[in-house]
Structure 1
Amino acid sequence: MTHDLVAALRPLLTAEAGAEALATGTEPADLEQAVWLRLLERLEGAGPPPDPQGWLRRAVRAEARRSRRRARVERPYETEPADGEADGPEQAALTAARHRALREAVRRLPGRCPRLLEALLSPKDLTYREIAGELGISQGSLGPERSRCLGCLRRLLSAEVAGR
């Protein structure tokens, strides 16, 4: 039934959104998408509208009004923040998220890998001698151990990225 309703309303929505978009300065596809979303929300809650065409016309107009209000209140940046600043807030948030994901993955590694990699990633910039002393292992085994741990981390992260 949902598929039939969508197929029946598509031409009307395209026409209505195209007409309203000109007056609001909005892209017709944006209006269409917003109305489809409202229809899906309605179908989940109250079910299909009794008068689908009338509901659709009212929904398009409501979305157009919402878009006009938003355009009056919101002001665009002179330039995109990411364009003007290498260390803008978006980049800082992305970097922090990557660091958190890396540290969480390191904590899930087997054996003494978490302690070894945490020591290697430490802001204290520890030497191999200091790390070996902290972990209680020989300095000569740090290189092979580090290589094994990084391999485990690489496999763990590649599996997570592929899983998404």
Structure 2
Amino acid sequence: MVAELRPLLAAEAAAEAAAAGGEARDLEQGVWLRLLERLERSDPPRDPARWLRQAVRAEVRALRRAARREHALCRDPADETRPGPEQLALASARRRTLQDAVRRLPGRCPRLLAALFSPHDLTYREIARELGMSQGSLGPERSRCLGCLRRLLGPEVAPRPRRG
């Protein structure tokens, strides 16, 4: 019986697999398993070809139900574009480290860097007026402050790539 049903099952499974979103081999395997279970109960099908077609359709329905319930991961969750808990925790730790280092800077540096990185996107003119200093001295002062910040952070800041 298996030898005569094999070509029919292969054809039926190949025809139904694409529409079901599954593999023909998986459908075939499921039908063979159904047949073995039925033969184990001593209940061979009266019309094997008809039974096989119905079994293939039943496997396809089961496959579709499973596809509605299950969602396969296309890639590793760590590769998602949204940051995971580990990335969020690391980013938070880096932010706290940077904020602590900025607070330890000397002179006007903490206020200057806070103004430069303000979410309000202040212009140099507005920053100079807020800090009570000339607009021309903001660039050199900023450079000194960032140099101090680099020294404070030391090994925590990756070295900049060399140019040229």
Higher share in helix: 1
TM-score, normalising length: structure 1? 0.47
Larger of the two Rg values belongs to structure: 2
TM-score, normalising length: structure 2? 0.47
